[in-house]
Amino acid sequence: MGVINGGVSFWWQQIGIPEPRESLDGDLDCDVCIVGGGFSGLWTAYILAALDPGLDVVVLEAEFVGFGASGRNGGWLSAELSGSKERYGRTHGREGVTALVAAMERAVDEVVEVCRVEGVDADVVKHGVLYVARSPAQLVRMREGLADDARWGIGDDQVELTADEIGERLRVEGALGATFSPHCARVHPAKLVSGVAAAVERRGVRILERTRAQRIDPGVVTTDRGRVRAPRILRCLEGYTAGIRGQRRTWLPMNSAMIVSEPLPDAVWDEIGWAGAELLGDHANAYCYAQRTADGRIALGGRGVPYRFASRTDADGQTQDWTVASLTGILHDMFPATRRARIDHAWCGVLGVPRDWCASVGFDPATGLGWAGGYVGSGLTTTHVAGRTLADLATGRESALTALPWVNRAVRRWEPEPLRWLGVRAMYGLYREADRRESRGLERPSRLARLGNTLTGR
């Protein structure tokens, strides 16, 4: 059988696409309307319902809960910052950055704890994350990153591993060194998102599916099935934000794609090692990310076609054949023992990229409008911090979270087409060329990648 391509994601196909919930039927009034049923919207609803159980909270979702990136991702529940330390530091200094990192590290444990308390079985195992360097240039970049973190006073518990030390955990072809951080857990995205949605409903929140918001104005969300009037409206659409009237250039929908192998036989695992559930990434410019699934497969993701002209998104997670071939090439290159393994499934999804590549959470008490997103591919844990923060902001609470540097950040919009398409294409072209040169033995990180970053303001 060939590779299944799309079907939203392997994760959803594995547990089954859920029966649809009810849809909006005519007009409705509520206290808080959350637009988007991914982790941003669901965590916000979960915390709001805890802060004020009397609030009437409604979540609107165009397809089904977890249809977007939240049900398609690599399952890295990681403390990695979604945004640049320098940019956050510019407004809130070193203290602001360390506070944000600390909030992210705490959030990994908070999500694990919610799973325990709510009885969500999402294959969660917290064994940390390894980033391997597979060329001299990647090794230099890795050490520069460690030194930079040390200057900011973050990542104290990151360690550098030698090639031999990596091999004690798992054997990646050509690994010269790695960093290891304990702040990451492996999850099954679809199991987690459906479990969180069920917990949200138990707290009395209404989730309306197959209800697509078309425009958001103060006090009212206009959908294809009626209008929802609410004094507070929270936009949690991440990579789909461009679909709302007036938001086309707010965040660029960036693609990420994944493949998953068949369950690998013991003989293959004997060669690879990887007895734990560490997440695995590399230090390439167009980096990859991988997990060992609970049922003994390798799921691996990377960029593919980075961006579709005019902010279009995929149909049901279907990705291009060359992306499947390229990700399969990376899997075989890292783990030659998988060369004979079948690839069972491939899919893709979108994540939101702001013009300055930094996430934000905001709320304007004057209009009652709020938002969270722009996580640039590191959203699984960030959505939890964002949800807590947005719930505080929307209920008028001042807290340590509402003082974090990403709160109420003003960011300029992306350029009109064809400029943003040309910019992102050129950036990833330069990344790929930089990676090619680095893998051929360049001693230092290629300057081409930096040029790519300059082009798009990364």
Ligand X SMILES: Cc1cc2nc3c(=O)[nH]c(=O)nc-3n(C[C@H](O)[C@H](O)[C@H](O)COP(=O)(O)OP(=O)(O)OC[C@H]3O[C@@H](n4cnc5c(N)ncnc54)[C@H](O)[C@@H]3O)c2cc1C
Instruction: Give the DSSP per-residue string, 365-425.
Output: TTTTEEEEE--TT--TTHHHHHHHHHHHHHTT---TGGGSTTBT---PPPPPTTHHHHHHH
> Of 83, 96, 195, 239, which lies in the binding site for ligand X, with binding defined by CB under 6 A?
239
Binding residues with ligand X: total (CB under 6 A): 46
- Which of 349, 367, 352 minimizes the C-alpha distance to 413? 352
CB closer to ligand X, 297 vs 445? 297
Rounded Cα distance, 180 and 177, in Å? 10
29, β-bridge pairs: 229
CB closer to ligand X, 287 vs 421? 287
- Which of 349, 376, 360 minimizes the C-alpha distance to 410? 360
| Residue 257 Cβ vs ligand X, minimum distance, rounded to whole Å | 6
> Of 380, 434, 442, 449, which lies in the binding site for ligand X, with binding defined by CB under 6 A?
380
Closest residue to ligand X, Cβ-based? Answer: 379
CB closer to ligand X, 71 vs 445? 71
Residue 237 within binding range of ligand X, rule CB under 6 A = yes
> Of 62, 199, 216, 331, which lies in the binding site for ligand X, with binding defined by CB under 6 A?
62
Rounded Cα distance, 33 and 131, in Å? 39
| Residue 404 Cβ vs ligand X, minimum distance, rounded to whole Å | 17
Characterize 193-227 residue by residue with b for buried, 16 or more Cβ atoms within 10 angstroms of its Cβ, and e for exposed: bbbbbebbbebebbbbbbbbbeebeebebebebeb
> Of 57, 63, 253, 414, which lies in the binding site for ligand X, with binding defined by CB under 6 A?
63
Residue 191 within binding range of ligand X, rule CB under 6 A = no
Residue 68 within binding range of ligand X, rule CB under 6 A = yes
Rounded Cα distance, 447 and 165, in Å? 30
- Which of 123, 262, 245, 120 minimizes the C-alpha distance to 194? 120
| Residue 89 Cβ vs ligand X, minimum distance, rounded to whole Å | 22
Residue 383 within binding range of ligand X, rule CB under 6 A = yes
Tokens for 127?
Answer: 């064994």
Tokens for 282?
Answer: 């590399």
Could you count the other beta carbons within 10 Å of the beta carbon of residue 91? Answer: 10
Residue 73 within binding range of ligand X, rule CB under 6 A = yes
229, β-bridge pairs: 29, 220
Rounded Cα distance, 122 and 277, in Å? 13
CB closer to ligand X, 137 vs 192? 192
Instruction: Give the DSSP per-residue string, 425-450.
Output: HHHHHHHHHHHHHHHTT-SS--HHHH
CB closer to ligand X, 302 vs 445? 302
- Which of 42, 60, 15 minimizes the C-alpha distance to 111? 42
Q: Which stretch binds ligand X (CB under 6 A): 11-19, 25-33, 171-179, 239-247?
A: 239-247
Residue 371 within binding range of ligand X, rule CB under 6 A = no
Rounded Cα distance, 123 and 138, in Å? 31
Question: Which is it for strands 4-5 and 220-223: parallel, antiparallel or unpaired?
Answer: unpaired
Tokens for 440?
Answer: 């051929």
Q: Which 256-275 positions form the footprint of ligand X (CB under 6 A)?
A: 256, 258
> Of 301, 354, 370, 405, which lies in the binding site for ligand X, with binding defined by CB under 6 A?
301
Residue 302 within binding range of ligand X, rule CB under 6 A = no
**Window 160-189: contact mask with ligand X (x via CB under 6 A):** ------------------------------
Tokens for 307?
Answer: 């961006």
Rounded Cα distance, 63 and 79, in Å? 29
| Residue 36 Cβ vs ligand X, minimum distance, rounded to whole Å | 3
Residue 194 within binding range of ligand X, rule CB under 6 A = no
| Residue 386 Cβ vs ligand X, minimum distance, rounded to whole Å | 8
Q: Which 270-299 positions form the footprint of ligand X (CB under 6 A)?
A: 289
CB closer to ligand X, 99 vs 108? 108
> Of 213, 260, 343, 434, which lies in the binding site for ligand X, with binding defined by CB under 6 A?
213
Residue 345 within binding range of ligand X, rule CB under 6 A = no
226, β-bridge pairs: 223
Q: Which 385-424 positions form the footprint of ligand X (CB under 6 A)?
A: none
Contacts (Cβ under 8 Å, ≥6 apart) of 231: 31, 219, 368
Rule CB under 6 A: which residues touch ligand X? 35-41, 60-63, 67-70, 72-76, 78, 212-213, 236-240, 243-244, 256, 258, 289, 301, 348-351, 373, 375, 377-381, 383
